[in-house]
Amino acid sequence: MKLTEILAKNKITLSFEVFPPKTDANYESVEKAAFGVASLSPSYMSVTYGAGGSTSRNTVKIAEGIQEKYGVNTIAHLTCVGACREDIHNALDKMKAAGIDNVLALRGDKPKDFVGEPFTDYHYASELVEEIKAYGDFCVGGACYPEGHVDAVSKSDDIINLKKKVDAGCEFLTTQMFFDNNIFYNFLYKVREAGITVPVIPGIMPITRANQVANAVKLSGCNVPERFKSIVDRFGNNPAAMQQAGIAYATDQIIDLIANGINNIHVYSMNKQEIALGLQNNLSEIIK
- β-partners of residue 268 are 17
Of the candidates 25, 22, 30, 16, the residue with the CA atom closest to the CA atom of residue 111 = 22
With contact defined as beta carbons under 8 Å apart, do 268 and 15 qualify? no
C-alpha span between 152 and 243 (Å, rounded):
33
With contact defined as beta carbons under 8 Å apart, do 222 and 176 qualify? yes
With contact defined as beta carbons under 8 Å apart, do 100 and 60 qualify? yes
Among 5, 17, 193, 226, the one annotated catalytic:
17
DSSP 75: E
Residue 28 CB neighbours (<10 A):
10
C-alpha span between 9 and 13 (Å, rounded):
10
Which residues have C-beta within 8 Å of that of residue 37, sequence separation ≥ 6? 16, 18, 45, 269, 271, 272, 273, 276
Which residues have C-beta within 8 Å of that of residue 215, sequence separation ≥ 6? none
Q: Is 64 a catalytic residue?
A: no
Which residues have C-beta within 8 Å of that of residue 62, sequence separation ≥ 6? 18, 20, 30, 31, 34, 47
Q: Is the dihedral of CA 193, 187, 257, 176 positive or negative?
A: positive
Query: Which ranges of 39-154 does DSSP label H, i.e. alpha helix?
Result: 56-70, 85-97, 125-135
Q: How far is CA 286 from CA 14, 68, 203, 252, 259, in A?
A: 11, 28, 18, 12, 10
Q: Which residues are catalytic?
A: 17
